[in-house]
Amino acid sequence: MLFFVEVVISGLTAGVMYALVALGFVLIFKASGVFNFAQGVLALFAGLTLHGLLTGTVPFVHTVNPAWAMPAWLAILTTIAIMILLAIVWERLVLANLVNQEHIILFMATLGLAYVLEGAGDIIWGSDVKVLDLGLPQGASDYFLDTFNLYVEKLELFAAATAGVLVVVLALFFNKTRIGRALRAVADDHQAALSVGISLRTIWVIVWSVAGIVALVAGIMWGAKSGIQFSLSLIALKALPVLILGGFTSIPGAIVGGLIIGVGEKIAEVYMGPYVGGAIENWFAYMLALVFLLFRPQGLFGEKIIERV
């Protein structure tokens, strides 16, 4: 029984980690209908930048001795500024030229972005494994382990708390601020939003900036787990079933979807895996999402699809 609780807890925490990545997808999809293939690479790029700033690596000549040491808060703020800058450049150079194109074309453009950032991240910061030392809690929680013999990872509790805060902030941002209302208007209907004087381009910059910041959070959490390295860009694959299950447009959907997928795949792997040879987590997540989708084709929290001729 205790073991079952452990499996569920680890599923929940893993789910939160997936949801952190999925959130970035949702933000961009909601406001612009773009499936952002580069979200994983964004997380990698943000993580690399943060690490570089923290340790004082000189860009492009990452091999020279550290040039400065930045306090963590300043490094994070600078990274956020860089992610915003990136969003502005991306909007000016690319999105502005692709207004009104089909979604699949914009999807393809994000592949281009992924390639560019992959190459640029390597050239600027080097491609070895980087240890991100932000003083985040690590290892198992002694309290739970000693008192209840329950294994809970501290980092993941911290990630869950961060995700909670993030969702609350995003919800407030979307519901209570002027920009948030404008964002929702754009999400509902591009043309109607334009006609009442909302600038689509500003909105895009904001959305991509916020997605960049969410990517930074995901990069920090996953980077603390495994060190910051190229593989970080592959976490997007773990976010896909979460995204599909939760619905592409719903922020709570990303969280709930993450929890369902996390718990589902852990239970499957631990209790079903041994009978079929293990490593079933990956496909099980998609099968689970598929089953849910057969009942709700628009995802758990997706907007209802209304079809007209």
Q: How far is the CB of 196 from another protein (least distance, A)?
A: 27
Query: In Å, what is the CA distance from 48 to each residue of 82, 151, 204, 232?
Result: 12, 30, 24, 10
Q: How far is the CB of 138 from another protein (least distance, A)?
A: 7
Instruction: Mark 192-231 with x for binding to another protein (rule: CB under 8 A) and - for no binding.
Output: ------------------------------x--xxx-xxx
* Cα 174 from Cα 213, distance rounded (Å): 15
Query: In Å, what is the CA distance from 173 to each residue of 13, 21, 197?
Result: 25, 19, 20
Q: How far is the CB of 214 from another protein (least distance, A)?
A: 18
Instruction: Mark 112-151 with x for binding to another protein (rule: CB under 8 A) and - for no binding.
Output: xxxxxxxxx-xx---xxx-x------xxx----x-----x
Q: How far is the CB of 131 from another protein (least distance, A)?
A: 5
- Using CB under 8 A as the binding rule, whether residue 98 contacts another protein is answered as yes
Question: Which one of 27, 289, 300, 301 is in contact with another protein (CB under 8 A)?
Answer: 289
Task: Tell me whether residue 81 is exposed, middle or buried, using C-beta atoms within 10 angstroms of its C-beta: 0 to 12, 13 to 18, 19 or more.
Answer: exposed
Positions 40 through 69 that interact with another protein (CB under 8 A): 60-64
Among residues 50, 27, 39, 42, the alpha carbon closest in space to that of 167 is found at 27
Instruction: Mark 236-275 with x for binding to another protein (rule: CB under 8 A) and - for no binding.
Output: -xx-xx--xx--x----------------xx--xx--xx-
- Using CB under 8 A as the binding rule, whether residue 99 contacts another protein is answered as no
Q: How far is the CB of 252 from another protein (least distance, A)?
A: 18
For residue 140, the cross-strand partners are 153
User: How would DSSP label each residue in 189-218?
Assistant: -HHHHHHTT--HHHHHHHHHHHHHHHHHHH
